Amino acid sequence: MFVVGLVILVAGGEFLVRGASAIARAFHLSPLLIGLTIVGFGTSAPELIVSVQAALAGQPGIAIGNVIGSNISNILLILGVSALIAPLIIPGRKLWRDLGFMLGATAIVWTMLLNGQITRTDGLILIAGLVAFLTTAFISGSGHPPESGTETFGPNWKPWIMTGAGLVGLVIGARLLVDSATSIARDFGISEAVIGLTIVAVGTSLPEMATSVIAAFRKHTEISVGNIVGSNIFNLFGILGITALVAPIPAEARFAAIDMWWVTASSVGLAVVAFALGGLPRIAGAGLLVAYGAYLFFIG
C-alpha cells in the first residue's frame, strides 16, 4: 500500500505542476498566483478531508495537530528539500502580501487556541480571512504575460484535465500513506496529538512535497514557494474554518503552549530569509531541514 501510494503521489504531482503551469500561461496569470491558489489549495485537500473526518469522529487532537504539523513541515521540511534541489529565488517584494496573510492567519489561530476551543464563530472569522486573501491575490496576480520557452499543450481543455487528474492522484496517494502510517502508530501507543503533528501532518503534506519538489526540478520556483505559502494560508483559514463550522474543535493546551511557537518561528524565519536573501538558497534549505529535525527531536 505504501509503494502504491507513493507512485500515485509522484505521478499526481507531475500532472498538477504541468497542468497548472499551462493554465497560468493561458490566462495570463502569474505562476506565483497559480501556486498560491490552484496548486496550494489543491494540495491541501488531504488536510481538509482528514481534519473534518477527525473532528466528526471526536478526535480533535488529530484535527488540529494535522493543520499545525502540516504548516511546520511545509516550511521546514518541504521548502528545505526543494531549496536543496534548486535555489528558490523569489524576491521578498513578490511575497510580502502573501507572507503577511500567512503571519496574520498564524496570529489569529494562536489567539483562538489560547481560548481552548475553535468555535463556529471562530470558523466564520477564519473563512472571512480566506475570502479576503483570495480577493487580493486574484486582483494583483492577473494580467501577467504567459511564460516563454516552456512546453505548450494542444486543446485548451488538456491542462484542466491534467490539473484535475493530478489533484485526484495526490489525494488518493496521500490517503493510502496516511492510513497505513496512522494504523502503525496507534499500534505502538503514540498519542493522538503527536500522531496529528507528525505522521498525519507529514502524510497529508506529501502532495505539497511532491508538487514543490517536482516544481523545483522543473525550475518553476514561484509555483514551488507559492504552493507552500498558499497551502499554509488555506490550512489555517480554510481547513480550520471549515472544520470548526462542521463541529467546534476543543484544543489541547500543548498546541498554544508549544507547537504554535514553532509555526510562528518557521513562518517569521521564512519571511526574513525571503526578504534578506531574495529567496531560499541551498544553505537556507539545509538550515530549514536542521530546524525540522530539531522540532521532531523536541516533541519526541
**Over the stretch 38-52, which tens digit does the pLDDT of each residue have?**
677 766 766 777 777
**Over the stretch 128-158, which tens digit does the pLDDT of each residue have?**
999 999 888 877 755 555 545 444 444 477 7
228 Cβ partners below 8 Å, 6+ apart? 40, 74, 75, 78, 79, 208, 212
Provide the pLDDT for residue 296: 86
Grid cell digits, residue 185: 502508530
Q: 10 Å Cβ neighbour count for 264?
A: 15
Q: Is pTM, for the whole model, over 0.85? A: no
**Measured CA distances, 88 to 85, 210, 264 (Å):** 9, 16, 21
**Measured CA distances, 60 to 7, 54, 117, 160, 291 (Å):** 30, 6, 10, 35, 26
- Band of residue 59 on the pLDDT scale cut at 50, 70, 90: confident
Q: Higher-confidence residue: 208 or 234?
A: 234
The alpha carbon of residue 66 and the mean position of all alpha carbons in its chain are separated, in whole angstroms, by 11
- Residue 299 confidence (pLDDT) above 70: yes
Could you tell me where the DSSP H helices lie in the chain? 2-26, 31-34, 40-42, 45-56, 60-73, 79-85, 92-114, 120-141, 158-187, 192-195, 201-204, 206-217, 221-233, 240-246, 253-254, 260-277, 282-299
- Residue 73 confidence (pLDDT) above 70: yes
Question: Is residue 280 exposed (0-12), middle (13-18) or buried (19+ Cβ within 10 Å)?
Answer: buried
Provide the pLDDT for residue 157: 76
**Measured CA distances, 101 to 40, 83, 107, 237, 283 (Å):** 14, 22, 10, 10, 26
Query: Do residues 200 and 50 touch, judged by C-beta distance below 8 A?
Result: yes
- Band of residue 23 on the pLDDT scale cut at 50, 70, 90: confident
Provide the pLDDT for residue 151: 46
294 Cβ partners below 8 Å, 6+ apart? none
Provide the pLDDT for residue 265: 96
Reference 50, options 42, 59, 41; nearest CA is 59
The one-letter amino acid code at 290 reads V
Q: What percent of the chain has pLDDT over 90?
A: 30
155 Cβ partners below 8 Å, 6+ apart? none
pLDDT, average across residues 98-120: 94
Q: Higher-confidence residue: 291 or 63?
A: 291
CATH code: domain 2-143+157-299 is 1.20.1420.30
